[in-house]
Structure formats: structure tokens, C-alpha cells
């Protein structure tokens, strides 16, 4: 039988049978044979290394970013009109579930020097602003003296400096004392403020309030328009961020930590599946009956594409012609 005759006999039904045999063989293969740690490390390093050294990677990402931004910029609909109602409802239910994280964990996240300095400055500004408004009547009181106080006013002026200088001195001293006391108060209160925030977030009795807060933030996010998101993407300089990420990954791959960490991650992923087959793993997760027909269809389609090529015909002729 020549190559042309054999090729014509590879009908859809025959390719389907071949695809089924190939898939069944793969499903009966142990997971460790498909995902052994040495292979995963080697493949991951090859893929990452190839991408890092590719000149086209950054330009391709830049073009993709520009396409996304341009498409979003022309759409002023809010997210709530883009996402389906079912997805929004599911997200709302997840966000609104009561949850109380550990207090120590909350403190370790929020009580950091930059956050502490920001809260400190905001509190200090608010207190000083309130204090200045509260102390304003000190000067206004002197200016608002009635005609009956003219004699006292002239007396103060005659004794040197005038009423204006006296009021200015009093006001300046009040502001200096206010600022000093405000700084002391804020510095003392900072620990208590972060502690109260942590208490509020981690207290199970206030879990419903925390859920309401998360829900309000979610609703606010849903009001954002695609145009606004596009503007933020432009401000974020995604190509620049990817460039930094690429440099960091390159440095990591060049270090001695990459291979051991990749190997540990792979071993962790397959630790629960020693000597188990792909079929057993997919069955446990309830994915076998879902993925099997999809995989079979895709595998058969790819085989059909390969068989239809001239390269396959030449390869088949060479196989049949060999002794």
C-alpha cells in the first residue's frame, strides 16, 4: 500500500479512533511521568529564558497594551453594564460574606511606617486646622470690642506695641502651643489608632459591618467606566512594569535559588499524587467527564490538520519506503 492510498484511508473515523487510543494512553499515565520535577524545572527555565531574551516579547506586549487601552478608551459604559448580572450577583455574595481575620495579621499588614506616617500627617493636619479655627476668636474678640472699650484700647496703645501686636503675639503663641500639643497627641495616639482599626476589622461581632464596607467598595468599583480604567492603565505604565518584572525574573533565573524553588513547587504540586494516573486525578476533581470529550475533539482536529499537510505525506512516503 502506497502513501497516497494509506493517507486516504485515514478518515475522520480512523483519526477519531487513533485520537481515542492516544488520549486513553495519556490518561493511564502516572502523573509523575507527565509532571516529574526535573522536566518541569527544565521546561519552565527554557520558556522563561526564551521569553526574557526575546526582542519581540516587549514590543508584542506593548502592542497588546495599546490595543486594550484604545478599545477601552472608546467605551464609557460602567463595569456593571459590562459584567453579566449573574457574575455580579456571585461576586456580591462572595464579598458580603462575614469574615473576621486575625488581629495580629491585620496589624502586621496595616501598621507599616509609610501607612503610619500618612495617617499621622492626616491627623495632625486635621487637628491643627480645627485648632486654628477654634483659636480665631482670640483675635476677633479684641477687634470686636465696643465703643465702651476705647479707653482701654488707647491705654494699651500708649503703653507700647498697640493692641494689634498684643493680639498677634497671643495668637502666635496659641498656634505654637497648639502645634506642639497636637504633635505630642498624635504621636501618642498612633498605636491606639492602628489597634482600633485592627479591632474593628477582626472583631467577629463587627463582621457584618466589615462585609457592608467591602460591599460598598465593590459597588463603587462597578461604577467605574471602561474609559476610566483605560486612563489608569496608561498612568500605570504597564510596559515599564513588565520591563522591571523581566529584569527581576532574569536576575532570579541567574541566581542559585531558581532551580531548587521550582523543584520544591513542583514537588508540592504533585506530592498528593504519587503513583496515581491522570485519570485518577481528574476523576477526584470531577473533571474527567468534562475534559475527556473536549480533549478528544481537540486532539482529533489537530491530527486531521497534520495528516492533511504535504509534510505528513512526505514523511509517510519515507516511512513506507524504508526497509
Q: Does some domain include residue 163?
A: yes
Number of domains observed in the structure of the chain: 1
Domain membership of residue 286 (yes or no) is no
Residue 145 lies in a domain: yes
For residue 35, CA distances in Å to 41, 190, 287, 295 come to: 10, 51, 18, 18
Q: How confident is the model at residue 188 (pLDDT cuts 50, 70, 90)?
A: confident
What is the predicted pLDDT for the residue at 88?
Answer: 93
Q: How far is residue 167's CA from residue 174's CA, in Å, rounded to a whole number?
A: 10
Domain that holds residue 181: 103-202
Residue 221 resides in a domain = no
Three cell numbers, residue 304: 486531521
The H or E element that residue 51 is part of is: helix 37-53
pLDDT at 148 over 50: no
- Look at residue 115 in the predicted model and tell me its pLDDT: 86
Tell whether 241 is covered by a domain. Answer: no
Best CA proximity match to 174, nearest among 134, 140, 115: 134
Judged against a pLDDT cut of 60, whether residue 215 lies above it is answered with yes
Which pLDDT band, with edges at 50, 70 and 90, does 1 fall under?
low
Percent of the chain topping pLDDT 90: 21
pLDDT at 152: 46
Q: How confident is the model at residue 142 (pLDDT cuts 50, 70, 90)?
A: very low
Residue 162 falls inside a structural domain: yes
Task: List CB contacts of 74: < 8 A, sequence separation 6 or more.
Answer: 227
Instruction: Classify residue 138: in a domain, yes or no.
Output: yes
* Residue 91: count of CB within 10 angstroms of its CB: 15
pLDDT one-digit tens code per residue, 254-308: 888 989 998 888 888 777 666 788 898 889 889 899 999 999 999 999 988 888 8
pLDDT category, 171, cuts 50, 70, 90? low
Is 48 part of any domain?
no
Amino acid at each position: 500500500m502506497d502513501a497516497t492510498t494509506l493517507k486516504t484511508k485515514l478518515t475522520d473515523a480512523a483519526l477519531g479512533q487513533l485520537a481515542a487510543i492516544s488520549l486513553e494512553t495519556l490518561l493511564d499515565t502516572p502523573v509523575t511521568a507527565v509532571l516529574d520535577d526535573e522536566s518541569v524545572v527544565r521546561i519552565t527555565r527554557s520558556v522563561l529564558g526564551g521569553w526574557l531574551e526575546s526582542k519581540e516579547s516587549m514590543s508584542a506586549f506593548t502592542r497588546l497594551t495599546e490595543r486594550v487601552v484604545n478599545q477601552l478608551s472608546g467605551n464609557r459604559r460602567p463595569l456593571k453594564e459590562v459584567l453579566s448580572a449573574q457574575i455580579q450577583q456571585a461576586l456580591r455574595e462572595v464579598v458580603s460574606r462575614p469574615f473576621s481575620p486575625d488581629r495580629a495579621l491585620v496589624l502586621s499588614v496595616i501598621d507599616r511606617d509609610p501607612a503610619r506616617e500618612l495617617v499621622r500627617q492626616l491627623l495632625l493636619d486635621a487637628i491643627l486646622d480645627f485648632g486654628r479655627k477654634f483659636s480665631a476668636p482670640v483675635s476677633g474678640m479684641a477687634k470686636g470690642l465696643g465703643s465702651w472699650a476705647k479707653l482701654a484700647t488707647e491705654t494699651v496703645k500708649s503703653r507700647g506695641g498697640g493692641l494689634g501686636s498684643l493680639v498677634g503675639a497671643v495668637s502666635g503663641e496659641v498656634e505654637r502651643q497648639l502645634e506642639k500639643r497636637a504633635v505630642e497627641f498624635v504621636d501618642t495616639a498612633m498605636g491606639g489608632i492602628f489597634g482600633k482599626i485592627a479591632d474593628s476589622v477582626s472583631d467577629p461581632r463587627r463582621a457584618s459591618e466589615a462585609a457592608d464596607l467591602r460591599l460598598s467598595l465593590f459597588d463603587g468599583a462597578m461604577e467605574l467606566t471602561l474609559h476610566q480604567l483605560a486612563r489608569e492603565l496608561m498612568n500605570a505604565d504597564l510596559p515599564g512594569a513588565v520591563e522591571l518584572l523581566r529584569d527581576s525574573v532574569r536576575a532570579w533565573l541567574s541566581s542559585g535559588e531558581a532551580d531548587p524553588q521550582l523543584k520544591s513547587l513542583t514537588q508540592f504540586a504533585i506530592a498528593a499524587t504519587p503513583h496515581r494516573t491522570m485519570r485518577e486525578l481528574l476523576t477526584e476533581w470531577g473533571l474527567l467527564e468534562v475534559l475527556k470529550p473536549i480533549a478528544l475533539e481537540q486532539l482529533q482536529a489537530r491530527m486531521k490538520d497534520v495528516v492533511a499537510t504535504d509534510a505528513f505525506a512526505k514523511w509517510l512516503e519515507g516511512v513506507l519506503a524504508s526497509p
